[in-house]
Amino acid sequence: MAFHSGRILTYGLLGAIAAGLSGAAAVRIFFVQASGIMSIVSGLVLIVLALVVLKVLPFPEWLTSLSLSPESFWGRRLPHLLRSQRMAHKMMLGMAIGFLPCALSWAMVVTAAATQEPVRGGLTMVLFGVGTVPLLLLTGISAHLLSLRIRFLGERLAAITIIVMGVVMVARGISGHGCCHGG
């Protein structure tokens, strides 16, 4: 649970920061006036990220090497955190995992940014993180029981769900309701 608490903390912080940046004073005026454009752009980003998960588009190699290289902050610390049994280290490991490139979690950061409110953006990501805990625990416990085919299908289902979210956001942007105005 310490691991998942760290991961959820990172997700919440990322969501709050992304929403805060998109809602910042000068930027907020732009987004209020152009919420439809923001919705379309956010939706397209979600669709692209889902296509990366589906392996229709390649994962940017530079992003993986940037975050996991031996010279990087986490590249130097992850091996020690993986070996440690201390609760604080498990939480730090979870926090580190929250920063690693994952198309699904970063798609949710885009969704959080679209809220343009740090509390709502943070809450969006915290709820996403909490929602993933049961499945991650189940997957971890039964990974040797699940066939590769079932894991593959689960990944595909998640990517299709992200595409649907993206299409809805694009449609809302085109219809002029934006993604966050309840239209």
Assess whether pLDDT exceeds 90 at residue 12.
yes
Mean pLDDT to the nearest integer, 8-29? 82
pLDDT of residue 83: 73
Q: How many CB atoms within 10 Å of residue 70?
A: 8
Phi-psi bin for 146: left (phi > 0), alpha (psi -120 to 50), beta? beta
Instruction: Return the minimum-mean-pLDDT range out of 55-64, 117-126, 129-138.
Output: 55-64
Measured distance CA(3)–CA(1) in Å, rounded: 5
What is the rounded average pLDDT of the residues 156-164? Answer: 86
Per DSSP, helices labelled H in 23-147 are: 25-33, 35-53, 61-68, 73-83, 87-99, 103-113, 118-142
pTM, 2 dp: 0.60
CB burial string 142-180: b at 16+ within 10 A, e below: eeeeeeeeeeeeeeeebbeebbebbeebbebbeeeebbb
* pLDDT tier at 113, thresholds 50, 70, 90: confident
* Confidence label for 182 from pLDDT (cuts 50, 70 and 90): very low
- More reliable by pLDDT, 67 or 106: 106
* CA angle centred on 102, ends 144 and 23, rounded to 5°: 145
DSSP reduced 3-state for 180: coil
Within 10 A of 73 (CB to CB), how many other CB atoms are there? 11
Q: Which of 164, 171, 153 minimizes the C-alpha distance to 107?
A: 164
Higher pLDDT, 67 or 21: 21
